[in-house]
Chains A and B, each alone.
Chain A
């Protein structure tokens, strides 16, 4: 893994809230394909308004979605 040490926990949060990807994607205003890429961490970044929409819809904090793993970047 050559990531920057940021883990995306969106899939976990979706499961915890029992929310479908389709509904979240529709709420944010992005395609399901892009949401899938975000869930898989296959994006370079996330816009603040996207993060804001996710947090509002899932009633959570950014920290619940993104997690920093110090060792991952060195792997």
Chain B
């Protein structure tokens, strides 16, 4: 009898078994996987490095703050600012680490396995969290940096620029792609059970 509730087929004709991927494409995906991992590590390190070395004038210009509003940029303040900046960077780094699994599966010719799709979904989530955290981080930074400013010069910056909006749209697009891939995986799995 045809058992419709039979467990999934063995890997002989399951999408998990993979499809043929030419060498150049596989190499591209492997490079992307390495790049994602490297970027995930470099982003927070770069951010910390920036805060430890940035000149006060450059910082005032970048933050659009009056130079007089910036207090003394001592080491604890720089470390605190780096910590706050990491609020927006760490979710993105996590997303980049997770998307590595997606590229690795692609390179091995398995575009529809759950691990890869979960990686793509987590990348979108990480990017989305980063988008949400970015304005909060900027606001907290402005409070921290102007904390020691003279009375009347403390600042609260609320920042929501076009870059953030584009990043949010990109995150939504990636999430939609992840959803579509999940549906495609389900169809591929069902199709694989037809002989």
Contact = CB atoms under 8 A, between A and B. Distances in A.
Interface of A: 1-8, 30-31, 33-35, 37-38, 41-47, 50, 69, 72
B6 interface: yes
Contacts of B6: 42-44
Main secondary structure of the interface of A (DSSP, over half): loop
Contacts of B4: 2-4, 44
Contacts of A7: 1-2
Interface in B32-81: none
B193 interface: yes
Nearest to B13: A34
Given A3-B1, A45-B193, 16 more contacts: A1-B3, A2-B4, A2-B5, A4-B2, A6-B2, A31-B12, A31-B13, A37-B9, A38-B195, A41-B1, A42-B3, A43-B9, A45-B195, A46-B194, A50-B195, A72-B1
Interface of B: 1-6, 9-10, 12-13, 190, 193-195
Contacts, number: 60
B12 A33 contact: yes
Contacts of A1: 1, 3
30 contacts: A1-B3, A3-B1, A4-B1, A4-B2, A4-B4, A7-B2, A8-B1, A8-B2, A31-B12, A33-B10, A33-B12, A34-B195, A37-B9, A38-B195, A41-B1, A41-B2, A42-B9, A43-B6, A43-B9, A43-B193, A43-B195, A44-B2, A44-B190, A44-B193, A45-B2, A45-B194, A46-B195, A47-B194, A50-B195, A69-B1
A47 B2 contact: no
A69 to B, nearest CB: 7
Contacts of A45: 2, 193-195
A38 B12 CA distance: 13
Contacts of B195: 30, 34-35, 37-38, 43, 45-47, 50
A42 B12 CA distance: 13
A38 B6 CA distance: 12
Given A43-B194, A45-B194, A2 B3 contact: yes
B3 A3 contact: yes
A44 B5 CA distance: 8
Contacts of A42: 3, 6, 9
